[in-house]
Structure 1
């Protein structure tokens, strides 16, 4: 799926519409690092950083943060969207991290590690982390729920049917996410590790936000590349179903968009 993520049109859409960083996930990473290593926090590295969704909220807690992604267009969007002076971005594969041995306090990847060549990335994690440094790998399941007044069941059915169509344009990496990184946990090379599943996260979204989020999912972009007319018509039908369900509330409604997140945390002894 590298070609999809390197597409300029998709990267701009991703930056505009993908859901923002979950404060809950950021605090989980930082609390774990405090417990295992303690301050000072010098260097954090965000691998597969995309447009910097998690790079930016982590930045205030570290002297320096480096965001890495294999996609130049994603990195360009990240640079345009970042004002923090202690953040640097580089185009780099996850399997060849451009940082020194034993130099990183926190190495993390949000909704990204399932795309990496796992054994090579884990070797790099062991190389670059300081003793006591921490690894954090988090993502969300592709199963969503929408709550709004008395039409929650219908709205949830629509988003579920929408995702079932988009999953036809997906990859085996989607299964890794829906299994909450169960198999991936075994590949983490540190004895001190934990996996937390079924973490509830809620975003308040307008209908416009929701439709934008659907467009920011890579599977929709694959659909769009293969059949632009078909994908566009599909999105229009989905929006009409949402509008018909919401009725007069469709323009001003604030929907509760619920997802399940999960996180692997590990410490290099």
Structure 2
């Protein structure tokens, strides 16, 4: 049964908004090329729901006359990037103040698994014009490619130290969005790679942006990141935490659909 109203918003990222903006990887041009190819020629308005600090939102400005990012977290909005034809508005994704049938594209970047999905899907159907597109994508968890010991440290921190602090909804990401099912018949799925050469400090920055880490700290635990940093530096046999020696990859799972 569809909920009558959205669930109460719980801000999982407001306290780490600055870290989220600084350290989360930037989506590659390949992703936006896929979006560009999938959408039809009408490009008046795109909206990005759960836009966070706007890294994905501003990229859409190249392809659409107007882009609006909607985000319920004040902490994220305060860190949003300012761009000429992009606006940011404080709003949950499940209740967008725009006319029915007025939107050409709705995107959600690494956020839809937090939504009240039945309510959001109804709102997406209302907002999209005929043949408008709903494109949902998420970055998977960081993988360290060039050091097995470091990858074990990475896995242990995510699934061991933070294992009890992840919201159950994060399973959508772990499973590659296979259970994210838009309310339209025309659906395509793609997985692309997001490689990035990073430093140990960059990796620690990624960890600091995780909602599971925010929950871990909120629960009163001592900060373990300094120890994790030391372990990673030992694994890479380096004394320079800023040296870009960590080869990483982030899988990106895409679900593309049309009304």
TM-score by length of 2: 0.90
Q: CA deviation at 1:250?
A: 4.0
- Counterpart selection for 2:33 from 16, 21, 27: 27
What secondary structure is seen at the aligned counterpart in 1 of 2:108? strand
1:209 aligns with 2:202: yes
Q: Matched residues in 1 for 2:24 and 2:112: separation?
A: 18
Q: Which residue of 2 aligns with 1:14?
A: 20
Higher helix share: 1
Q: CA deviation at 1:249?
A: 6.4
What secondary structure is seen at the aligned counterpart in 2 of 1:109? strand
Does structure 2 retain, via aligned residues, the 8 Å contact 1:18–1:217? no
Q: Which residue of 2 aligns with 1:64?
A: 66
What secondary structure is seen at the aligned counterpart in 2 of 1:183? coil
What secondary structure is seen at the aligned counterpart in 2 of 1:189? coil
Q: Which residue of 2 aligns with 1:169?
A: 165
Give a deviation string over 1:243-268, Cα, whole Å, max 9, x none.
11112364423321112221110011
Q: Which residue of 2 aligns with 1:257?
A: 248
Q: Matched residues in 1 for 2:14 and 2:30: separation?
A: 29
1:3 aligns with 2:11: yes
Query: How many positions carry a matched residue from both structures?
Result: 249
Q: 1:102-181 alignment to 2 at 5 Å? A: 102-142=101-141, 144-148=142-146, 152-164=147-159, 165-181=161-177
Q: Please tell me the root mean square deviation across aligned C-alpha atoms, in Å.
A: 1.7
Q: Which residue of 1 aligns with 2:212?
A: 219
Q: CA deviation at 1:141?
A: 2.7
What secondary structure is seen at the aligned counterpart in 2 of 1:121? helix
Give a deviation string over 1:112-163, Cα, whole Å, max 9, x none.
1101111111111111111111000001333x32133xxx211111111111
Does structure 2 retain, via aligned residues, the 8 Å contact 1:70–1:93? yes
What secondary structure is seen at the aligned counterpart in 1 of 2:132? strand
User: Which deviates further from its counterpart, 247-256 or 258-267?
Assistant: 247-256
Q: 1:43-82 alignment to 2 at 5 Å? A: 43-78=45-80, 81-82=81-82
Q: Structure 2 stretches of 5 or more lacking a match?
A: 1-8
Q: Which residue of 1 aligns with 2:4?
A: none
What secondary structure is seen at the aligned counterpart in 1 of 2:12? helix
1:245 aligns with 2:235: yes
Give a deviation string over 1:158-213, Cα, whole Å, max 9, x none.
1111111223211111111111222222xx2211111224x222111111111111
TM-score by length of 1: 0.87
What secondary structure is seen at the aligned counterpart in 2 of 1:247? coil
Q: CA deviation at 1:220?
A: 0.7
